[in-house]
Amino acid sequence: MRADVVVVGGGVVGSSIAYHLRTDGFTGRVIVVERDPSYARASSGRAMGGIRQQFGSAVNVRLAQYSIDFYRRFDQALPRAAGLPPSGFVQRGYLFLVNDELADRFERRFARQRRLGACVERLSLDRIRQLVPDLRLDDIRFGLFGPEDGYASPRAVLAGLRHAALAAGATYLAAEVVGIEYAGGRVTGVTLDRGERVTCATLVNAAGPFAGALAALAGIALPVQPVRQQLFRCALARVWPYRFPVVIDPTGVHWRHEDPSETAPRDRIVVARTKLDEPPGENFDCDVSRWEREFRPPLISRLPALEPLELLDGWAGLYEMTPDHNPIIGDHPQRRGFVLANGFSGHGLMLAPAVGKAVSELVRLGACQTFDISAFDVRRFARGELFWDEAMI
């Protein structure tokens, strides 16, 4: 079997790459290899779905702004199929609550984000109360709010991007890559678990948390590790009189409404909190004890009106973490034709449209023209020049 481009990983990033390649005018054959077409454990479907431009670096702001515009047009611009759910993208904003301990850091962040052109506002306590009336704010100094930010349904976005890529002419194979062939430092093809060989001039690593294992097949050490992230879904005692934005508490607990819920008898919210010392590994077990220990107390303390709050379920997905929590995008210097789109560290769905555009340009034009992605060069790790963006959750 022959392809011009093989994309390994059919989640939101891989599907966005395939879609952008085809709609940007690439006429060669694009094959997307996805080992689990049910996406049962895909990070794409297990995400919180937040989409924000409140970053601290120019490149992340630009990537996020492109993606927000893409998601804004998602349901109208992408081809639709019967039964395909809408993306659920709503621009209800991201609200960071800032206490005394964080005040200086967030003042600097706000000034920097404004210089970078991010749409962000500094909210007084009165403005915060207008936005989310029930919050306890006795320890809060101010808030940072991105009115253009919001969230989408992760599974709906994944389904929509995959369908759009297929409609644009990409081919999906339900298979696993078990070997990567290369000669003279250039990728020449892949071997699939079902025994087939697919030759290609370009191989794109969009394997998410498993990017490191895929790179190892090409004899490359890629600093990407899977790290568990847990989320919980809760039912509120009543239909809430307003919709929550994504609210980020100083403790790190953050939550959003789960939509659509306007016609449901009970509202639901999704709650997350990153465990900074979570050990790396492919772990999908949900530690329900963390709900009562680490999630519920700060959530109820910040918004007592949520009581009584009923835990419905919890789940775990995988972040694809790099040492500096920023992506790796670009060609690998040791394997020509091996393009990396990895290590989004919890921001894969958030940045997927822009990453699709960037990789499309890399493949078609030999360089990314829409964004300056030089900071995401994989060689930064070998040089010891990590790229930090403090606005990470």
User: For 113-168, what is each residue's pLDDT tens digit?
Assistant: 999 999 999 999 999 999 999 999 999 999 999 999 999 999 999 999 999 999 99
Say what percent of the chain tops pLDDT 70: 98
Q: Is residue 13 part of a domain?
A: yes
* Residue 253 CB contacts under 8 Å (≥ 6 apart), including other chains: 271, 272, 273, 294, 295, 298, 299, 302
- 41 lies in which domain range? 5-80+154-223+324-383
At 6 the three-state DSSP class reads strand
Regarding whether 305 and 242 lie in a shared domain, the answer is yes
State how far the Cα of 266 lies from the Cα of 238, in Å rounded to an integer: 5
pLDDT score for 261? 45
- Whichever domain contains 101, its CATH number is 3.30.9.10
Average pLDDT of 11-40? 97
Which of 321, 341, 357 is where one domain is finished?
A: 321
Closest CA to 363 of 18, 70, 65, 66: 18
| Range scoring the smallest mean pLDDT among 75-89, 91-105, 142-156 | 75-89
Regarding whether 195 and 130 lie in a shared domain, the answer is no
At 7 the three-state DSSP class reads strand
pLDDT score for 45? 86
Q: Strand ranges (DSSP E) for 54-176?
A: 94-99, 121-123, 140-146, 150-151, 171-174
Regarding whether 211 and 343 lie in a shared domain, the answer is yes
Regarding whether 233 and 144 lie in a shared domain, the answer is yes
Regarding whether 10 and 98 lie in a shared domain, the answer is no
pLDDT over 80 at 344, yes or no: yes
User: For 363-392, what is each residue's pLDDT tens digit?
Assistant: 999 999 999 999 999 999 999 999 999 877
Regarding whether 235 and 315 lie in a shared domain, the answer is yes
Regarding whether 250 and 188 lie in a shared domain, the answer is no
Average pLDDT of 256-273? 79
Regarding whether 112 and 22 lie in a shared domain, the answer is no
Say what percent of the chain tops pLDDT 90: 92
Which of 321, 344, 368 is where one domain is finished?
A: 321
Q: Is residue 312 part of a domain?
A: yes
Regarding whether 123 and 67 lie in a shared domain, the answer is no
User: For 267-280, what is each residue's pLDDT tens digit?
Assistant: 899 999 999 899 99
- Whichever domain contains 374, its CATH number is 3.50.50.60
Report how many domains make up the chain: 2
Regarding whether 254 and 167 lie in a shared domain, the answer is no
